[in-house]
Amino acid sequence: MNDTNRTTKGRVLSGMRPTGKLHLGNYVGALRNWVNLQNEYDCFFFIADWHALTTDYADTRMVKQNSLEVILDYLAAGLDPERSTLFIQSHVPQHAELHLLFSLITPLGWLERVPTYKEQRENIKDKDLGTYGFLGYPLLQSADILIYSPSCDLPESERKLLVPVGEDQVAHVELTREVARRFNQFYQPKGAGAVVSGVAATVFAEPQPLKTPTPKLPGTDGRKMSKSYGNTILLSEPEPSLRQKLKTMVTDPARVRRTDPGDPDKCPVGDLHKIFSSQETMAKVYEGCRSAGIGCIECKGWAADSLWNELAPLQERRKKYEANPRLAWDILEEGSKKARGVAEATMQQARDAANLSWEYEPPAQSAAEGK
Residue with Cβ nearer ligand SF4 (121 or 274): 274
Q: What are 12's strand-pairing partners?
A: 43, 162
Q: Which of 71, 183, 171 is nearest to 116 (CA)?
A: 171
**Cβ-based nearer residue to ligand SF4, 167 or 287:** 287
Cβ density class 42-73: b for 16+ within 10 Å, e for less: bbbbbbbbbbbbbbbeeeeeebeebbbbbbbb
CB of 243 to ligand SF4, least distance (A): 14
| Among residues 53, 296, 342, 353, the one that binds ligand SF4 under rule CB under 6 A | 296
Q: Is the CB of 70 or the CB of 269 nearer to ligand SF4?
A: 269
- Of the CA atoms within 13 Å of residue 35, those in its CB half-sphere come to 14
Closer residue to ligand SF4, CB minimum distance, 286 or 329: 286
Query: How is residue 170 annotated by DSSP?
Result: H
Query: Distance between CA atoms of 153 and 61, rounded to whole angstroms?
Result: 43
Q: Which is nearer to ligand SF4, 161 or 233 (by Cβ)?
A: 233
Q: Are 303 and 277 in contact (CB under 8 A)?
A: yes
User: Near ligand SF4 by CB under 6 A, which window of 70-78, 184-192, 216-224, 247-255?
Assistant: 247-255
Count of residues in contact with ligand SF4, rule CB under 6 A: 14
Nearer to ligand SF4, 218 or 264 (CB): 264
| Burial class (CB within 10 angstroms; exposed 0-12, middle 13-18, buried 19+) of 24 | buried
255 binds ligand SF4 (CB under 6 A): yes
Stretch that binds ligand SF4, among 42-50, 196-204, 266-274, 323-331 (CB under 6 A): 266-274
End-to-end CA distance of the chain: 37
Task: Decide: is 262 part of the binding site for ligand SF4 (CB under 6 A).
Answer: yes
Shortest Å, Cβ 165 to ligand SF4: 30
* Residue 275 interacts with ligand SF4 (CB under 6 A): yes or no: no
Q: Is residue 270 involved in binding ligand SF4 (CB under 6 A)?
A: yes
Residues 88-107 that bind ligand SF4 (CB under 6 A): none
Does 307 interact with ligand SF4 (rule: CB under 6 A)? no
**Contact with ligand SF4 (CB under 6 A) among 285, 304, 311, 332:** 285
Residue type, 53: L
Distance in Å, CB of 223 to ligand SF4, minimum: 16
Q: Give the contacts of 149 (CB within 8 A, at least 6 positions apart).
A: 5, 159, 161, 180, 203, 204, 205, 346
Among 135, 225, 289, 353, binds ligand SF4 (CB under 6 A): 289
Angle of the 279-290 helix axis to the 296-323 helix axis, nearest 10: 150
Q: Reduced to 3 DSSP states, what percent helix, strand and coil does the chain have, rounded to the nearest 5?
A: 55, 10, 35
Our separate counts of H helices and E strands in the chain read 16, 7
Q: What angle do CA 74, 175, 112 make, to 5 degrees?
A: 105
Cβ neighbors of 158 (< 8 A, separation 6 or more) are 8, 150
Does position 136 bind ligand SF4 by CB under 6 A?
no
Residues numbered 26-65 forming contacts with ligand SF4, rule: CB under 6 A: none
For ligand SF4, the closer CB: 124 or 254 = 254
Q: Which residues bind ligand SF4 (CB under 6 A)?
A: 251-252, 255, 262, 264, 267, 269-270, 285, 289, 294, 296, 299-300
